[in-house]
Amino acid sequence: MQQSARRFAGALVALACAALVPAHAQATFPDKPIRLVVPFPPGGGADNLARAIVPKAAQILGQPIVIENKPGAGGNIGAAEVARAAADGYTLLQGTNGTHGINQALYAKPGFDALKDFTPVARWTVIPAMLVVHPSVPATNVQELIAYIRAHPNKVSFASAGNGTTSHLAGVLFKNATGTDIVHIPYKGGGPALAGLLAGDVQMMIDLMVSVYPNAKAGKIRGLGVTTMKRVSTAPELPTLDESGLPGFRIAASDGVYAPAGTPRAIVERLNAAFRQALEDPQVRENLVSRGAFPVPGSPDDLAKHVADEYPAWIRLVKDSGAKVD
């Protein structure tokens, strides 16, 4: 009996020590480099935003944050990898409205559940889109464009970066909101789509401001409006589509940081505080705004609410578009 009691007591001590390990790890987090998976190619828009934010957050945390680009399947490959990682705060994902919205309806098997497989950590930015037309289109505002399209049914085409992309879904939303007949012309990426618009091969596009606004300022294309509910501070001359006669028209790209589901709240809060502080840094903010991305620092719950609010709309838009990737 005494020997059994000693064994039982030993087992209890072992269990107690094991239970203390997570608490200790949380108290000292982070004590080694953190890995941030960017599920898109290096040098692209998402990657550039991450590299604008991460150095300051790493400085605040006192540990390096190593960016690893894991592109493929519209962000699904990198996202799926993080979803399967240990929930210890040392593997994070830069998620977007693509990984945490569009892809869940666009792909038959994305490889992860955007709502169940991740713990929201921190919102990063919102990136407005902008309605632009080729100079040959005789429209100086949204209502004139709608009238022109109605006078030329199935003759006006809009470019996108490809089926199921934000620019495609924005065009679908415009088509549905206006009841007009516009023809979708998908390109293999945002660059080729913009080139097609500049060449006059297509007449219009709704794409992220970071891509199209410089050409609008240069007079190569004409900007008619932005897709946020408020005017954009860096382009105050452009009305919103909402105030241009399309009530409630709103579409924008967004990104943020996610950890695997089950990551302890204390670790999530530590990460959130660092990213929030980084976004509030004047130099980081200026860098982001100059790229057309507007910081939206907030709590983990703010990111969770944002995804929950936006998710159904993205799913509906993908279904309305008929886009599908097997």
Asked whether 132 and 204 are in contact (CB, 8 A), the reply is yes
Identify the pLDDT of residue 22.
Answer: 61
Same fold, 32-126+253-321 and 128-226: yes
Model confidence at 164: pLDDT above 60: yes
Is residue 3 predicted with pLDDT exceeding 80? no
* C-alpha dihedral sign at 243, 246, 250, 252: negative
- Residue 24 pLDDT: 62
What is the rounded average pLDDT for all residues in the chain? Answer: 91
pTM above 0.95, yes or no: no
Dist CA 263 CA 119 (whole Å): 7
Q: Identify the DSSP state of 128.
A: E
Q: Averaged over 284-295, what is the pLDDT?
A: 92
* Domain edges within the chain: 32-126+253-321, 128-226
> Percent of the chain scored above 90 by pLDDT?
80
CATH class of the domain defined by 32-126+253-321: alpha beta
Q: Residue 129: name the closest of 213, 59, 57, 62 by CA.
A: 213
Residue type, 37: V
Backbone angles phi, psi at 211, to 5 degrees: -90, -40
Q: CA 326, CA 317: separation in Å to the nearest integer?
A: 18
Please name the residues in contact with 109: beta carbons below 8 A apart, sequence gap of 6 or more: none
CA distance 153 to 45: 34
> Which residue is it, tokens 């089950």?
262
Nearest to 80 by CA among 106, 110, 104: 110
Give me the DSSP letters along 160-187.
ESSTTSHHHHHHHHHHHHHT--EEEEE-
How many angstroms separate the CA atoms of 69 and 144, rounded? 43
pLDDT (tens digit, 9 = 90+) per residue, 113-129? 999 999 999 999 999 99
Tens of pLDDT, residues 186-245: 998 888 999 999 999 999 999 999 889 989 999 999 999 999 999 999 899 999 999 999
pLDDT top residue among 261 and 6: 261
Is the pLDDT confidence value at 83 over 80?
A: yes
- The class (CATH top level) of 128-226 is alpha beta
**How sure is the predictor about 298, in pLDDT bands with cuts at 50, 70 and 90?**
very high
92, 235 contact by CB (below 8 A): no
For 47-68, what is each residue's pLDDT tens digit? 999 999 999 999 999 999 999 9
- State in Å, rounded, how far the first CA of the chain is from the last one: 63
**Separation of alpha carbons 102 and 162, rounded Å:** 13
> Strand ranges (DSSP E) for the chain?
34-38, 65-69, 91-96, 118-133, 156-160, 182-186, 204-208, 222-226, 252-260, 294-295
More confident residue, 198 or 21: 198
